[in-house]
């Protein structure tokens, strides 16, 4: 039987807890923070995540420990970030694959399962041809229209960002995926080798991945799938400039926490990430590995993720990969 005194004690305890939660958030962090990376050590996400973690430590005054949680095409790590306690002591790197899990049926999480902190990296897909190939994207698309199926494409596996970048662009132009059949490979390097050898006619892959063969004069980049020109490649036109359709897509990485992260902690992390991305050391380390830098903060990052979901979803559906 609950007495009046007991009820008063419970109400007082609840009131104290309600006061304590904001206070704890205001004092965050008082101990190390874990940053989950959903991919294996040594890969691009791991490399960029460790750069961010090192610089984030300086800003928040506590260690940021990177933990790799691999498996399920990134689903294991992404799920662990989403299911973490919303106290700011577990955050993580979310990546491109999050834009595809629901659409392809691989998982039941999407950007709405997180508190978006900051986008820090994008590597848009470029459209690459042989050095003696079509002079521009408009010419290439005209050839594809005239001879559907004759111009074969590659970039990596079926269903990856490179494949969806091409399919989405074709779809935006009113062309089916079969207009430029996809030849699956084990990655950008073998795809570019096939392009240079004349076995295929175009490759969609990120600019850094194509850089070596472009510099060697074997491959030319005729467009980039980005809303605006990339300052690192100022002479490469966007798809919209080249053929008039507003299509952009590429690999991306950002920092997020679980949903319902306290506002005080979210604000602190957003402020810290703003300083990290502006840090000359971050710019130097990312540039040394040819990673693109794009910064989008907090709620704007949420809107960016919503748009990415639509773009990747539309491309997956056009490719017949939606479930």
The number of residues in the chain equals: 323
- Asked if 227 and 248 count as a contact pair (C-beta separation under 8 A), the reply is yes
What's the burial of 211, exposed, middle or buried (CB within 10 Å: 0-12/13-18/19+)? Answer: middle
Quote the CA–CA distance of 180 and 27 in Å, as a whole number. 56
Average per-residue pLDDT for the chain: 91
Q: How confident is residue 20, by pLDDT bands cut at 50, 70 and 90? A: very low
Checking if the pLDDT of 16 tops 60, the result is no
Phi-psi region of 198 (alpha: psi -120 to 50; beta: other; left: phi over 0): left
Closest CA to 102 of 113, 117, 92: 113
Mean pLDDT of 250-279: 97
* Cβ neighbour number for residue 151 with a 10 Å cutoff: 21
Quote the CA–CA distance of 221 and 131 in Å, as a whole number. 9
Q: How confident is residue 10, by pLDDT bands cut at 50, 70 and 90? A: low
- Asked if 133 and 201 count as a contact pair (C-beta separation under 8 A), the reply is yes
Question: In sequence order, which residues have a C-beta less than 8 Å from that of residue 24 and are 6 or more positions away?
Answer: 87
Mean pLDDT of 296-322: 92
Reported pTM: 0.80
- Asked if 221 and 136 count as a contact pair (C-beta separation under 8 A), the reply is no
Quote the CA–CA distance of 201 and 128 in Å, as a whole number. 9
Checking if the pLDDT of 44 tops 50, the result is yes
User: pLDDT of 72-108, one tens digit each?
Assistant: 889 999 999 999 999 999 999 999 999 999 998 889 9
What's the burial of 93, exposed, middle or buried (CB within 10 Å: 0-12/13-18/19+)? Answer: buried
Checking if the pLDDT of 258 tops 90, the result is yes
User: In this structure, what token pair is assigned to residue 63?
Assistant: 């260690």
Tokens 């979803």 belong to: 313
Q: How confident is residue 296, by pLDDT bands cut at 50, 70 and 90? A: very high
User: In this structure, what token pair is assigned to residue 293?
Assistant: 């830098």
If DSSP states are collapsed to H, E and C, what string results for 78-102? HHHHHHCCCCCCEEEEEEHHHHCHH
First to last CA, the chain: 54
Look up residue 174 and give its DSSP letter: T
Mean pLDDT of 216-245: 95
Q: How confident is residue 1, by pLDDT bands cut at 50, 70 and 90? A: very low
Q: How confident is residue 240, by pLDDT bands cut at 50, 70 and 90? A: very high
Question: What's the sign of the alpha-carbon dihedral 274, 277, 281, 283?
Answer: negative
User: In this structure, what token pair is assigned to residue 46?
Assistant: 């791991």
- Asked if 190 and 199 count as a contact pair (C-beta separation under 8 A), the reply is no
Quote the CA–CA distance of 116 and 92 in Å, as a whole number. 10
User: pLDDT of 114-159, one tens digit each?
Assistant: 999 999 999 989 999 999 999 999 999 999 999 999 999 999 888 8
User: pLDDT of 158-216, one tens digit each?
Assistant: 888 899 999 999 999 999 999 999 999 888 889 999 999 999 999 999 988 898 899 99
pLDDT at 257: 98
């Amino acid at each position: 039987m609950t007495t009046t005194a007991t009820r008063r004690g419970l109400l007082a305890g609840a009131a104290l807890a309600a006061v304590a939660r904001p206070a704890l958030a205001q004092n965050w962090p008082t101990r190390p923070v874990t940053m989950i990376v959903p991919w294996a050590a040594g890969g691009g996400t791991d490399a960029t995540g460790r750069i961010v973690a090192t610089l984030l430590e300086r800003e928040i005054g506590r260690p940021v420990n990177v933990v790799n949680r691999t498996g399920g095409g990134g689903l294991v790590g992404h799920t662990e970030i989403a299911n973490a306690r919303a106290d700011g002591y577990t955050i993580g790197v979310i990546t491109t694959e999050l834009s595809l899990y629901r659409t392809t049926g691989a998982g039941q999480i999407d950007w709405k399962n997180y508190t978006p902190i900051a986008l820090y990296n994008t590597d848009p897909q470029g459209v690459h041809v042989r050095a003696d190939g079509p002079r521009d994207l408009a010419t290439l698309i005209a050839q594809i229209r005239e001879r559907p199926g004759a111009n074969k494409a590659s970039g990596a596996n079926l269903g990856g960002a490179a494949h969806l970048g091409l399919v989405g662009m074709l779809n935006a132009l009113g062309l089916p995926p079969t207009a430029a059949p996809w030849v699956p490979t084990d990655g950008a390097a073998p795809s570019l080798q096939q392009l240079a050898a004349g076995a295929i006619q175009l490759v969609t892959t990120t600019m850094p991945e194509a850089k070596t063969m472009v510099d060697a004069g074997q491959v030319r980049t005729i467009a980039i799938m980005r809303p605006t020109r990339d300052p690192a490649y100022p002479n490469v036109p966007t798809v919209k400039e080249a053929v008039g359709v507003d299509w952009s897509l590429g690999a991306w990485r950002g920092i997020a926490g679980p949903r319902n992260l306290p506002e005080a902690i979210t604000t602190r992390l957003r402020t810290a990430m703003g300083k990290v991305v502006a840090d000359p050391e971050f710019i130097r380390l990312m540039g040394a590995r040819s990673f693109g830098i794009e910064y989008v903060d907090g709620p704007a990052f949420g809107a960016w993720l919503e748009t990415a979901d639509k773009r990747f979803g539309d491309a997956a559906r056009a490719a017949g990969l939606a479930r």
